[in-house]
Structure 1
Amino acid sequence: MSATDAFLDQYLRTHRFQLGVPSSFTVSPDGERVVFLRTRSGGDPLSCLWTLSAGTGEEQLVVDPDDILPPAEDRGASSADAWLRERTRQRAHGITAYATDAVVDLAVFCLDGRVCTARLGTRQVRTLETARPAFDPRPSPDGTRIAYVHAGSLRTVGVDGRGDSLVVAPEGENVTYGVAEHVAAESMERLRGFWWSPDSRRLMVARVDTTSVERWYLSDPARPATPPRQVAYPAAGTANADVSLWLVSPDEDAVAVEWDRKAFEYVVEVNWSLDEPLVLVQDRTQRRMRVLAVAPATGRTRVVREETDPCWVTVVKGVPAVTASGRLVTVTDQEDSRRLLVDGEAVTPPGLQVREVVGTDGETVFVRASREPTRTGLWSWDPSYGARQETRAAGVWNGRVGGGTVVSYGRAPDRDGWEVTVRDRSRATSRVRSLAERPLLKPNVQLLRVGQRKLRVAVVRPAGSDTDQLLPVLMDPYAGPYLQRVTEEQDGYLLPQWLAEQGFAVVIIDGRGTPGRGPGWERTIRGDIATPVLQDQVDGLQATAAAVGGLDLTRVGIRGWSFGGFLAALAVLRRPDVFHAAVAGAPVTDQTLYDTHWRERHLGHPADEPDNYVRSSLIKDAAHLTRPLMLIHGTADDNVVSAHTFRLSEALLRAGRPHTFLPLPGAAHMVADHEVQRNMLLLQVAFLKDALCGSRPPTPSS
């Protein structure tokens, strides 16, 4: 087996080198304990619960799921667990999420649909007798009770397993309590649907009614005896779920949280860390967003902060937050910068782009932010010293904080693997070990800024090659909102390096609309997510070829997944003079089939701005195809449903345009099966090699 073949097997077996990487950090309020998840090795898919002593750096395994779970052949995965892994794109099994009490002594999690607890100090683990399957268990701050969701109902149980009782039950088959609706989980990063009060007496719970939401049916064509799965999918221009919030407790009547839900129908986030809970809501156009303070006794609300924007107000993870004294922490867009606000005052400098509010520790606020889009760092702001960077400049870093202890984690441009550093209040440091395997390939990558728009570009070549060797080009972008591909982290280029070893110069370009370069850069795609994005790929490719040499622009392929798949198909449909073959995985081809919150943010409501949807559709361009195109889609995808690719394939067929379609029966947006992933990659490479190298590509007029 060659080194490149061995690498591909390693890449897939280790879940893209994520196995063995510590994640999901929680720091205790005294700063003494760090809790995290990690598998037992770089080849083990079972995620375990661990702790580290910030003072000594000593790690302890608290929960090994193998000690609790039934034999492997008897284990079942609930649909709720599968939903959570799909929304978070997690590939590991075992403990994939947990929650703690306020002092971080008790951890609660689900295994095999059962509620489990662990005392972090004594490592005492028990499984509670509750309704099954249970989902998203969370302990009260005082650690005496646990709330969890079962069959759309919110229930609580004592930490000793006694007193399992119903708190609130759905009134009909289309109603759930305590579970995030589709757009919240997929487009807002809100995965939870209930929150404990700080005094542990009450809960705020989201009631979701999907009665008005369109029903879609996802079937498995390889298994005709299996009934289709029904999903409530709010496509652009159609009705959203009706989401309301309620204050509930086992002993008192439920109280509705009151706000203008017709005007502000999106519940973006809830923060109940002080006496008054804060709720972040957004209107359907996403041009207005409000922070509401809720009176716990009456449910009445008042507006404490409002943001507006003529395009859209960006949802930033971690907002709203509060400091220990109750100062409101939000973000705003000023001077083409996403700036941190504390009680309405911008406290980070222009030019620093806040990506996420990581948390607060006393009066200190920690954020993930960047000046240069290819690198992100952990920053802090404190009234005594202002804003400062906590991590080194190079690389991609994040963090978690508590009690004076700072956990910083991320990846560097000059070293493989994840690094996790724990710095306690005395500034003594220790490390959380990463058990991930070392990759068999090392990226040969060059980062550039090219053209008038200073596009960030990565060029990956085969090991040992130089610019004197003329290579066919494989564009490998995502290039859409939310995700960057060109970053200063060596491990971000492992799969591109494997692709390069197949005989390509791999080029990755982040153009307009990608995060990290300021609000103006992100909003240039408002009303048209196709034209400027594609133009940046064309301009970036030509400028890169002029800058580095060795790129054969007569043989250019492009591949991508999701938005990258849309871009790949768009490239050969609209610019066959530049792109000679494409592989489009899970592409959004008909923009009216994507969800309300994500798509209307960029294109508006289709009833009000229909031209935007036509302009950004691939279906109308089907008759223009003159280049080889491979389409790939999982039939169980509930994010970008396979109807997107079937509609494009149908339009291509009606236009008499040959193409290749590779359906993946039973696969979701995140393809999980290793053999399917492996062969899918090999087939892509074979397709592109044949199209680009087997013979001269046909001319656009042929």
Structure 2
Amino acid sequence: MTSSHEQASFPRQYARTQRFTLGAPRAFTVAPDGGRVVFVRSGSGTDRSHRLWVLDLDGPGGPDGPVERLAADPEALLGGAAEELSAEERARRERSREGSAGIVGYAVDGAAELAAFALSGRLFTAELRAGTARELPVPGPVVDPRPSPDGRLVAYAAGGALRVTGADGTGDRALAEPADGEDGVVYGLAEFVASEEMGRSRGFWWAPGSDRLLVARVDESPVRRWWIADPAHPEREPQAVAYPAAGTPNADVRLFVVDLTGNRTEVLWDRAVFPYLARVHWSSGGAPLLLVQARDQRSQACLTVDPETGATETLQVDEDPVWLELFGGVPAWTPDGRLVRIVDRDGVRVLAVGDRALTDARLHVRAVLDVGAEDVLISASKGEAAEEDAAPETGEIHVYRVSERGVERVSEGPGVHSAVRSGSGAGAVTVLSSARPDAPGSTVRVLRDGKRLAEVVSYAQRPALSADITLVEAGERRIPCAVLLPSTWREGDGPLPVLMDPYGGPHGQRVVAAHNPHLTSRWFAEQGFAVIVADGRGAPGRSPAWEKAISGDFTLTLDDQVEALQALAGRFPLDLGRVAIRGWSFGGYLAGLAALRRPDVFHAAVVGAPVTDWRLYDTHYTERYLGLPEEGAEEADVYAANSLMSDTGLTEPREPARPMMVVHGLADDNVVMAHTLRLSSALLAAGRPHEVLPLSGVTHMTPQEQVAENLLLLQVDFLKRSLGLG
């Protein structure tokens, strides 16, 4: 049972530990020789500054005693000075939802002997065998430094240019930089929609031979400028943001092959048909690979590049009447030159190597983790055609080895598992990270030939609460759900007020077989609610058809929340006369939709950072689901039907009016504050009760401790007031 002291302390602990992520090891790299594992980890569960570590697997500790050692300490390298972030680095961290400090990212050479990273816009390298780190004197602010595969050079972005310097700190020079008058042009960085929506955070890629690079040129001059001001500081100028809203121009993205003298050759493909550069892969397995996508995302092409001429050749064209999903780790080459892809085929998602599909409908493939000479390492969840008598796997994600000989599961036990590996066959080392529903945090094991070699220590704090979740499927659609009841509730206590706690949209699986993702829901349950987290249509994890069912109609996600709620009422003590909903981002949109469209079901809503008008959200995300808003009357009607309001007030207002608390960060450059201001104006015009809580200086994340803590407390207060709970 959870004590009242633990309940009261959880919001502060949750905020101070950044959702219990501080002190946990992450960002693993395995050396090709299997001798080292590189990773980052902060010094404690409340320390925000990450350090670079090396685990020597064959070091002084011997085969039975691998040794951890510190490779780079930001405090020592900066002489104790506070870290200062450039605007470019702040944007990168916002796109990746990175709220901590120190060495939050790094890159290594081909042998994993040299690491490069940026601190306060300065370039540092660490020699991983010797255990020494130093600063290289280069112009800054430095962003995304990456050593060449042979370890002799380091390339980095700075001041709009892609630059390179010797690993010894000599010979710094620009390889590609904007010409005079090219305002808005940068080299070597990913544009907004690539990093926010496509999962591509990089803007340059080394050749395997270390003699040239592929470099993206991004021209943001066509993109409309939005202005984000901080009303709490009227003396500051508004920040200009190049934001490609749905139906408006994107950045112009080109790609060049650049050699070490600065000579460059443009990579040519039909950018009018395929304007999105979604993936780039360059390995010794073959020529550079590009995945380019049409703006409507219903067609894409996998291309090879001739580095000498920049000419491209089409390997594969995929088309889908709804949309084509992007996946991590593909396309890629096997070492013997076969193309590795993840494809939707015959209603299932499979791994294809060469001209063969190596998985079937028993697995729903999520990502490629590593490509070896003998097999491919993937993450996947159970597919629709899995054996009916198999154990239920709601919310589970496992790691599998796939080869011509078959499929073998690497991870064991219920949970969410991921892995990093280098090489395959005898002597291969795998870092397997496992989060389980019955234990906090993650366990990180280092395996060699499938046998446990070491465990990477976590300094993360133990939560004051235990998640204690029940994973079930609800309704005719078998909607995945997590149910959490107060630990003090007993049979005979009567039904409980309900809090629906979804994300509920694409790319946001909330129902997972892991402990920590449900801790906030557990805390709300301890305040006296039966909490339900439901992943309806659109959420990842089941099948392509399940994900694509919401095409053109986000309101189906609300229908699934209602179905899950009503189906679970027969199995759990739910008071359907007192139902609230809370959410953030798409979840905030869904909460607002629930209060406005289904007041017969939902009696209060906490609407966090909501997208209220989809014409104000970005191109790559919004147009994938709703189409281009300016193509015709039908598309305009789709946007209006999915909006929380129209230009003349609320869409289809229904009675009774339900109370809403709308929360938004004033510095949010992803879902801008205009969404909430327009919703509040429409609510006021319609005479509907609502509260607006503006968060000064807060972006789409809420990493500030006091803000994150008090936000939880204020939500509980609002929900209890609104439901009459006292």
TM-score, normalised with respect to structure 1:
0.97
Distance (whole Å) between structure 2 residues aligned to residue 251 and residue 126 of structure 1: 26
- Which residue, 253, 262, 273 being the options, matches 1:263? 273
Correspondences of 1:173-188 after superposition (within 5 Å): 173-188=183-198
- Per the alignment, residue 9 of structure 1 pairs with 12
* In structure 2, C-alpha distance between the alignment counterparts of 1:247 and 1:587, rounded to whole Å: 41
Match of 1:612 among 623, 627, 638: 638
State which of 249, 261, 266 in structure 1 corresponds to 2:259: 249
Q: Which residue of 2 aligns with 1:165?
A: 173
Distance 1:554 1:185, change over 3 A: same
**How far is 1:308 from its partner?**
1.1
Q: 1:246-291 CA deviation, whole Å, 9 max, x = no partner?
A: 0112325210001000000000010011251101100011011111
Q: Specify the alignment match of 1:338 in structure 2.
A: 349
Counterparts of 2:140 and 2:222, CA distance in 1: 28
CA distance in 1, matches of 2:34, 2:557: 45
Q: Give the Å deviation of 1:31.
A: 1.6
Cα drift, residue 477 of structure 1: 0.4
Identify if the C-alpha distance between structure 1 residues 80 and 468 changes in structure 2 by more than 3 Å, giving closer, same or farther: farther
Residue aligning to 1:414 = 438
CA contact (8 A) 2:367 2:379 kept: yes
- In structure 2, what is the Cα distance between the partners aligned to 1:656 and 1:628? 11
**Aligned residue identity for 1:576:** P
Indicate yes or no: 2:376 matched with 1:365: yes
Give the alignment of 1:466-481 within 5 angstroms.
Answer: 466-469=490-493, 470-481=495-506
d(CA) in 2 for partners of 1:269, 1:2: 49
Q: Say which SS state the counterpart of residue 7 (structure 1) adopts.
A: helix
- Pick the aligned partner of 1:34 from 32, 37, 41: 37
Tell me the distance in 1 between the aligned counterparts of 2:450 and 2:551: 48
The offset of 1:535, in angstroms, is 0.6
Amino acid at match of 2:8: D
| Alignment of 1:402 onto 2:422 | yes
Question: Any conservation in 2 of the 1:117–1:126 contact (CA below 8 Å)?
Answer: yes
Q: 2:697 aligns with which of 655, 666, 685?
A: 666
Q: Matched residues in 1 for 2:321 and 2:67: separation?
A: 51
Q: Runs of 5+ in structure 2 lacking a partner?
A: 59-64, 383-392
Q: Give me the whole-angstrom Cα distance separating, in 2, the residues matched to 1:373 and 1:240.
A: 38
1:203 is displaced (CA, Å) by 0.7
Equivalent residue in structure 2 for 1:382, among 382, 394, 403: 403
- 1:230 aligned partner: 240
Match of 1:545 among 558, 569, 573: 569
Letter in 2 for 1:65: P
CA contact (8 A) 2:432 2:446 kept: yes
Alignment of 1:256-335 (within 5 A): 256-274=266-284, 275-335=286-346
Q: SS state of the match for residue 15, structure 2?
A: helix
CA deviation after TM superposition for structure 1 residue 694, in Å: 4.6
Structure-1 separation of matches of 2:451 and 2:664: 50
Deviation at 1:344, TM superposition (A): 2.9
**2:525 paired residue among 500, 503, 507:** 500
Residue in structure 2 matching 1:535, options 545, 552, 559: 559
Pick aligned residue for 1:579 from 602, 613, 625: 602
Specify the alignment match of 2:550 in structure 1.
Answer: 525
| TM-score normalised over the length of structure 2 | 0.93
Amino acid at match of 1:154: L
State how far apart, in whole Å, the 1-side matches of 2:116 and 2:245 are.
Answer: 35
- CA-to-aligned-CA distance 1:133-192 (integer Å, 9 cap, x gap): 111000000000110011110100000101111111113121110110010000001001
Alpha-carbon deviation of 1:72? Answer: 3.5
**Number of residue pairs matched?**
691
Q: How far off its partner does 1:115 sit? A: 0.5
**CA shift for structure 1 position 11:** 1.2
Matched residues in 1 for 2:614 and 2:588: separation? 13
Letter in 1 for 2:76: D
SS at 2:571 equivalent: helix
Deviation at 1:70? Answer: 3.5
The residue identity in structure 2 corresponding to 1:297 is E
1:596 counterpart residue number? 619
1:40, 1:681 → 2: CA distance?
27
User: CA offsets per residue over residues 290-348 of structure 1, 9 Å max, x none?
Assistant: 11100010000001122111000100111111111121101111232211010131111
Indicate if the aligned counterparts of 1:54 and 1:405 stay in contact, CA closer than 8 A.
no
Q: Give the distance between the partners of 1:577 and 1:9, measured in 2 at CA.
A: 35
Kept in 2: contact 1:42–1:435 (CA 8 A): yes
Question: 1:393 Cα deviation (Å)?
Answer: 4.2
Aligned residues of 1:91 and 1:672 also touching (Cα < 8 A): yes
* 2:723 counterpart residue number: 692
122, 127, 134: which is aligned to 2:130?
Answer: 122
Q: Does 1:69 align with 2:95?
A: no
How much has 1:351 moved relative to structure 2?
A: 2.9
Distance 2:283 2:371 in 1: 11
Displacement of 1:362: 2.0
Instruction: Say whether the 8 Å CA contact 1:562–1:585 is kept in structure 2.
Output: yes
Q: For the residues of structure 1 that align with 2:356 and 2:708, how far apart are their CA atoms?
A: 48
1:59 to 37, 62, 68: 68
Matches within 5 A, 1:86-97: 86-97=94-105
Letter in 1 for 2:212: R
Q: Which amino acid aligns with 1:91?
A: G
CA contact (8 A) 1:29 1:402 kept: yes
The answer for the alignment partner of 1:355 in structure 2 is 366
Kept in 2: contact 1:373–1:516 (CA 8 A):
no
Identity across matched positions, percent: 47
SS for the counterpart of 2:611 is coil
- The offset of 1:57, in angstroms, is 2.8
Say which SS state the counterpart of residue 263 (structure 2) adopts.
strand
Alpha-carbon distance, 1:373 to partner: 5.2
Deviation at 1:350, TM superposition (A): 1.2
Confirm whether residue 442 of structure 1 aligns to residue 466 of structure 2: yes
Aligned partners of 2:300 and 2:668: how far apart in 1?
Answer: 30
CA distance in 2, matches of 1:238, 1:613: 14
2-structure distance, mates of 1:15, 1:236:
32
1:516 aligns with 2:525: no
2:11 and 2:713 in contact (8 A); partners too: no
Change in Cα spacing, 1:297 to 1:569, as seen in structure 2 (3 Å) is same
